[in-house]
């Protein structure tokens, strides 16, 4: 028809090229325990270097790999820590989500972090991020990781907030929601102490050394390193997926991720 230009439809894109590539900084089958450590907006963020140092001392670098997610608020507190993080520890920020992605085949950071991790430890967990998790919000890198999480893999949350935030009825509701709906998440109850703001009461983050002990009890150092190319927690890069029902009867769908030939 006059006045119209017809363009041939594009060639179909091969399915394989649509699969997100694995991020080079997140090796999957190195035999080490992969701990994804996250911090949110609480002064207890200053304990992060102590947690990292203790984990590295217990497992030794040959047995463990640690990656860190910091929210924008957590970054404001970390400089006040007594010691810096080791230079070998990679820190992920919200900006990394887009700086690492420009085309459909590029790594999707919040998915790659979930695939890589054998454990997510959020210490400290602020009242704000607790509310986001309980309500399913995913407006930053950390909450996107949590919303995309595989329920076959554990998450530990260590709340840290002002006493009146902790005793607020909404906090109780949010904690109850997580308990009732997300059985792969364990909340490490806070302690009563003199808080950074000067108030005295419940809400202080569990002692950092106790948090490390919880990790060690779940993942005994003697089990690492795994054999080369061993599948840890049943997870490798999702080039193919087998969806199976959760036989525990809680209605979840769990993904067994396997590497295609």
CA distance 43 to 39: 10
CA distance 136 to 199: 30
Is 12 domain-assigned?
A: no
Residue 20 has pLDDT above 60, yes or no: no
Does residue 64 or residue 98 have the better pLDDT?
A: 64
Res 230: pLDDT: 45
8 A C-beta contact, residue 120 and residue 155: yes
Banded pLDDT at 161 (limits 50, 70, 90): very high
Does residue 231 or residue 163 have the better pLDDT?
A: 163
Res 3: pLDDT: 54
Query: pLDDT for 204-243, tens place per residue?
Result: 999 999 999 999 999 999 999 986 544 444 444 443 333 3
> Alpha helix locations (H) across 27-68?
48-59
Res 102: pLDDT: 85
Query: pLDDT for 37-77, tens place per residue?
Result: 999 999 999 999 999 999 999 999 999 999 999 999 999 99
Res 50: pLDDT: 98
8 A C-beta contact, residue 75 and residue 92: no
8 A C-beta contact, residue 185 and residue 174: no
Is 58 domain-assigned?
A: yes
The pair of structure tokens assigned to 230 is 């061993």
Res 100: pLDDT: 79
Q: What share of the chain is helix, strand, coil (3-state, %, to 5)?
A: 35, 20, 45
Banded pLDDT at 195 (limits 50, 70, 90): confident
Is 243 domain-assigned?
A: no
Q: What is the DSSP-derived secondary structure letter of residue 232?
A: B
Q: Looking at 127-136, 177-186, 218-227, which range is the least confident one?
A: 218-227
Is 218 domain-assigned?
A: yes
Residue ranges making up the domain that contains 133:
19-227
8 A C-beta contact, residue 81 and residue 42: no
Res 106: pLDDT: 87
Measured in residues, the chain has a length of 261
Is 203 domain-assigned?
A: yes
Res 158: pLDDT: 98
Is 193 domain-assigned?
A: yes
> Residue 191, Cβ neighbours under 10 Å: how many?
13
Task: Tell me the mean pLDDT in the region 167-182.
Answer: 98
> Residue 176, Cβ neighbours under 10 Å: how many?
11
Catalytic residues: 197
The per-residue pLDDT of the chain, averaged, comes to: 83
Mutual orientation of helices 208-218 and 48-59 as an angle, nearest 10°? 40
CA distance 20 to 110: 11
Phi, psi of 16 (to 5 degrees): -60, -30
Is 259 domain-assigned?
A: no
Banded pLDDT at 2 (limits 50, 70, 90): low
Please state whether 95 falls in left (phi above 0), alpha (psi between -120 and 50) or beta. Answer: alpha
Does residue 260 or residue 4 have the better pLDDT?
A: 4
Return the bridge partners of 202, or none: 192
> What CATH code is carried by the domain that includes residue 117?
3.40.50.1950
Domain count of the chain?
1
Across 80-89, 196-205, 240-249, which has the greatest mean pLDDT?
80-89
């Amino acid at each position: 028809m006059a006045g119209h230009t017809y363009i041939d439809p594009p060639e179909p894109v091969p399915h394989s090229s649509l699969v997100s590539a694995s991020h080079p900084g997140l090796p999957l089958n190195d035999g080490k325990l992969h701990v994804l450590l996250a911090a949110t907006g609480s002064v207890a963020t200053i304990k992060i270097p102590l947690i990292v140092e203790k984990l590295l001392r217990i497992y030794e670098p040959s047995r463990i790999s640690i990656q860190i997610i910091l929210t924008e608020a957590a970054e404001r507190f970390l400089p006040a820590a007594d010691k810096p993080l080791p230079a070998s520890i990679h820190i992920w920020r919200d900006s990394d989500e887009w700086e690492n992605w420009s085309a459909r085949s590029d790594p999707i950071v919040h998915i790659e972090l979930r695939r890589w991790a054998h454990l997510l430890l959020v210490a400290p967990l602020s009242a704000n991020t607790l509310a986001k998790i309980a309500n399913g919000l995913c407006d930053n890198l950390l909450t996107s990781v949590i919303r995309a999480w595989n329920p076959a893999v554990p998450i530990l949350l260590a709340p840290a907030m002002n006493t009146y935030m902790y005793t607020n009825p909404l906090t109780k509701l949010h904690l109850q929601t997580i308990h009732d709906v997300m059985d792969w998440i364990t909340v490490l109850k806070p302690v009563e102490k003199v808080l950074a703001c000067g108030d005295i009461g419940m809400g202080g983050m569990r002692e950092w050394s106790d948090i490390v002990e919880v990790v060690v009890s779940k993942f005994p150092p003697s089990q690492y390193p795994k054999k080369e190319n061993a599948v840890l927690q049943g997870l490798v890069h999702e080039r193919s997926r087998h969806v199976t029902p959760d036989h525990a009867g809680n209605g979840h769908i769990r993904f067994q991720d396997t590497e295609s030939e």
